[in-house]
């Protein structure tokens, strides 16, 4: 089984926004829905200022919090590592949107669903490249199979000393002379998601279950005793 | 001969109770589908979208209607109720300690109580606190595009926690009102407003005495006039 990933070479990216637009065209997205974005940053103080661009998108996390919180199972991680949203199962509760540590999900107010980068899975299945990779005139993006050591992606990761954002499927080649703080942080499950899913849900269900059990026990005991002193 | 009955709740008190009760139960039934996976898959995406619309509409009566009814319909008894809920004496704590035996139908002697027993006071306080929590976090989620994302992220677990705890509380509340042989007479207080005098005397002795004393006073005044 493949495990798909992507490398973005920021030494090549010119910040043209071609990826954002090509993606929107392929997926027929609303203008405000952008699966991949281009951010400009500046570092240092005048006159020693450096600037550049970083692209962001769904990181296709190894253990995606968006899939954990999804109450319908519309968001799930496929065996090939791609995190998808089955849009017809999405009810637009937007739990995933606040669970995502990378702010990589967009709400579509017309269809009342949440959408995000799908790594162009159905095009990839047909042997095509993702739209952002296809369109990138600087060839800054490489898509491929991380498990295939011979793939263009695997070779580029080694050759260009790419940095993996830990816990995700995304690699960056950082711009020369710039520290990695401009890149998205390594994966960490948000505290609110952990407390919600690991403590609140099981704890709350236990409380409700105990209450229901107490009521049933009370009903049984009272029935055996044949009613109270008020009847 | 029909049983003697005494008024426990006026119309506004009852309407306030039911506007809260009905909106809460509808909110709980439509909302808990997002907590229990089996329930969610039973309802399906179409049903859940309908649930969402109902859930959002019910936010309005849940937040505003009960407060309006109680505040404008019966401000004095609302004030009395709040005052009683916040006043806790020895008898109240002894009642809470002894009540689990009563709940399960075991023999127990409960201390004398006012119009609201300590359990009802605890239920009232939990309901007030829980409703404020649910309304506050719920409106944060409804208005999520105009508040800080961190606020939304923390409103979600708090909204779930409040729902599940209050869900447990209402199960006990419904059982005591409908199923428990000693306390189920109290449902009549919320339907017709009146409860059996015997029930009032046995379960709310302190309140019943005051009620009788008040009646005697009125009768006495009528005699003088």
Please check whether residue B126 is in contact with residue B136, taking contact to mean a CB–CB distance below 8 angstroms. no
Please check whether residue A3 is in contact with residue A147, taking contact to mean a CB–CB distance below 8 angstroms. yes
Cβ distance B153 to A195 less than 8 Å, yes or no, reads no
Q: Is B2 helix (H, G, I), strand (E, B) or coil?
A: coil
* A133 phi, psi to nearest 5 deg: -75, -45
Residue A97: closest CA among A78, A80, A116: A116
Q: Give dist(CA A60, CA A169) in Å, integer.
A: 6
Please check whether residue A186 is in contact with residue B71, taking contact to mean a CB–CB distance below 8 angstroms. no
Q: How many C-beta atoms surround the C-beta of residue B216 within 10 A?
A: 10
Cβ distance A201 to B202 less than 8 Å, yes or no, reads no
* Contacts with A200 from chain B: Cβ below 8 Å: 157, 160-161, 164
Pairing of strands A50-56, A37-43: antiparallel
pLDDT of residue A230: 44
Angle at A193 between CA A188 and CA A195, to 5 degrees: 110
Cβ distance A112 to B182 less than 8 Å, yes or no, reads no
Cβ distance A99 to B153 less than 8 Å, yes or no, reads yes
Q: Tens of pLDDT along A104-117?
A: 999 999 999 999 99
- Read off the pLDDT of each residue in B185-214 and give the average, rounded to a whole number: 90
**A157-194: b or e for each residue (b if 16 or more CB lie within 10 Å)?**
beebebbebebbbbbbbbbeebeeebbbeebebbebbe
Chain B residues 103-142 within an 8 A CB cutoff of chain A: 103-106
Cβ distance A211 to B171 less than 8 Å, yes or no, reads yes
Confidence of residue B59 (pLDDT cuts 50, 70, 90): very high
A-B contacts (CB, under 8 Å): 121
Q: Is the peptide bond before B180 cis (omega within 30 degrees of 0)?
A: no
C-alpha A189 chain-centroid distance: 11
Å from B102 to nearest chain A CA?
Answer: 9
Q: Tens of pLDDT along B161-171?
A: 999 999 999 99
Looking at the complex, does the CB of residue B144 fall below 8 Å from at least one CB of chain A?
A: yes
pLDDT in tens, chain A (231 residues): 789 999 999 999 999 999 999 999 999 999 999 999 999 988 888 898 888 899 999 999 999 999 999 999 999 999 999 999 999 999 999 999 999 999 999 999 999 999 999 999 999 999 899 999 999 999 999 999 999 999 999 999 999 999 999 999 999 999 877 778 889 999 999 999 999 999 999 999 999 999 999 999 999 988 887 654 444
Looking at the complex, does the CB of residue B40 fall below 8 Å from at least one CB of chain A?
A: yes
ipTM of the complex as predicted:
0.89
**B122-160: b or e for each residue (b if 16 or more CB lie within 10 Å)?**
bbbebbeebbebbbebbebbeebeeeeeeebbbbbbbbb
**Rounded-to-5 percentages of helix, strand, coil across chain B:** 80, 5, 20
pTM for the predicted model, two decimal places: 0.90
- Closest chain B residue to A113, measured at CA: B49
Please check whether residue A181 is in contact with residue B144, taking contact to mean a CB–CB distance below 8 angstroms. no
Q: Is A75 helix (H, G, I), strand (E, B) or coil?
A: strand
- Residue with the two structure tokens 């269809």: A111
Residue A77: closest CA among A157, A168, A175: A168
Cβ distance A214 to B104 less than 8 Å, yes or no, reads yes
Q: Give dist(CA A4, CA A27) in Å, integer.
A: 19
Q: Give dist(CA A98, CA B153) in Å, integer.
A: 5
Q: Which two tokens stand for residue A229?
A: 């002193």
* Contacts with A196 from chain B: Cβ below 8 Å: 156-157, 160
C-alpha B81 chain-centroid distance: 12
* Contacts with B179 from chain A: Cβ below 8 Å: 215, 218-219, 222
* Contacts with B175 from chain A: Cβ below 8 Å: 215, 218-219
Q: If 0-12 CB within 10 Å is exposed, 13-18 middle and 19+ buried, where does residue A121 land?
A: middle
Residue B172: closest CA among A206, A212, A220, A219: A212
Of residues A190, A196, A221, nearest to B160 (C-beta): A196
Q: Determine if residue A112 is left, alpha or beta; phi over 0 gives left, psi from -120 to 50 gives alpha, anything else beta.
A: left
Among A196, A216, A217, A221, the strongest candidate for a mutation testing the B interface, having the largest count of B CBs within 10 A, is A196
* Contacts with A112 from chain B: Cβ below 8 Å: 49
Please check whether residue A113 is in contact with residue A37, taking contact to mean a CB–CB distance below 8 angstroms. no
* Contacts with B181 from chain A: Cβ below 8 Å: 222, 227-231
Please check whether residue B78 is in contact with residue A201, taking contact to mean a CB–CB distance below 8 angstroms. no
pLDDT of residue A225: 77
Confidence of residue B25 (pLDDT cuts 50, 70, 90): very high
**B13-33: b or e for each residue (b if 16 or more CB lie within 10 Å)?**
bbbbbebbbebbebbbebbbb
Q: Which two tokens stand for residue A27?
A: 């997926």
Confidence of residue B225 (pLDDT cuts 50, 70, 90): low
Confidence of residue B216 (pLDDT cuts 50, 70, 90): confident
């Amino acid at each position: 089984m493949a495990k798909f990933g992507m490398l973005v070479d920021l030494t090549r990216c010119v910040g043209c926004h071609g990826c954002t637009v090509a993606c929107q065209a392929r997926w027929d997205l609303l203008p405000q829905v952008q699966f991949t974005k281009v951010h400009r940053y500046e570092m240092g103080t005048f006159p020693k200022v450096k600037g550049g661009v970083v692209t962001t998108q769904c990181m296709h996390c190894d253990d995606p919090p968006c899939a954990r919180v999804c109450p319908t199972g519309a968001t799930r991680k496929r065996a090939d590592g791609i995190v998808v949203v089955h849009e017809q199962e999405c009810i637009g509760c937007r739990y995933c949107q606040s669970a995502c540590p990378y702010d990589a999900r967009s709400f579509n107010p017309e269809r009342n669903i949440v959408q995000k980068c799908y790594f162009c899975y159905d095009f990839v299945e047909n042997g095509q490249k993702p739209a952002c990779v296809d369109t990138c005139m600087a060839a800054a993006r490489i898509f491929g199979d991380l498990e295939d050591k011979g793939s263009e992606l695997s070779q580029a990761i080694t050759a260009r000393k790419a940095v993996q954002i830990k816990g995700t499927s995304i690699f960056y080649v950082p711009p020369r002379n710039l520290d990695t703080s401009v890149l998205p942080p390594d994966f960490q499950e948000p505290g609110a998601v952990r407390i919600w899913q690991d403590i609140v849900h099981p704890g709350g269900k236990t409380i409700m279950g105990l209450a229901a059990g107490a009521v049933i026990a009370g009903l049984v005991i009272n029935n055996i005793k044949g009613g109270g002193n008020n009847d | 001969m029909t049983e003697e009955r005494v008024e426990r709740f006026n119309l506004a008190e009852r309407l306030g109770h039911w506007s809260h009760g009905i909106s809460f139960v509808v909110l709980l039934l439509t909302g808990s589908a997002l907590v229990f996976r089996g329930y969610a898959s039973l309802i399906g995406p179409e049903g859940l979208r309908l649930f969402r619309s109902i859930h959002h509409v019910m936010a309005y009566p849940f937040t505003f209607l009960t407060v309006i009814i109680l505040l404008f319909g019966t401000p004095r008894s609302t004030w009395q109720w709040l005052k009683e809920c916040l006043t806790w004496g020895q008898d109240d704590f002894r009642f809470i300690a002894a009540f689990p035996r009563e709940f399960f139908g075991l023999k127990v002697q409960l201390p004398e109580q006012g119009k609201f027993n300590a359990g009802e006071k605890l239920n009232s306080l939990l309901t007030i606190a829980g409703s404020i929590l649910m309304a506050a976090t719920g409106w944060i989620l409804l208005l999520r595009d105009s508040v800080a994302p961190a606020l939304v992220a923390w409103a979600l677990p708090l909204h779930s926690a409040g729902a599940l705890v209050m869900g447990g509380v209402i199960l006990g509340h419904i059982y005591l009102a409908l199923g428990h042989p000693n306390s189920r007479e109290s449902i009549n207080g919320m339907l017709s407003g009146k409860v059996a005098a015997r029930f009032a005397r046995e379960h709310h002795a302190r309140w019943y005495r005051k009620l009788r004393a008040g009646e005697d006073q009125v009768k006495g005044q009528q005699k003088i006039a």
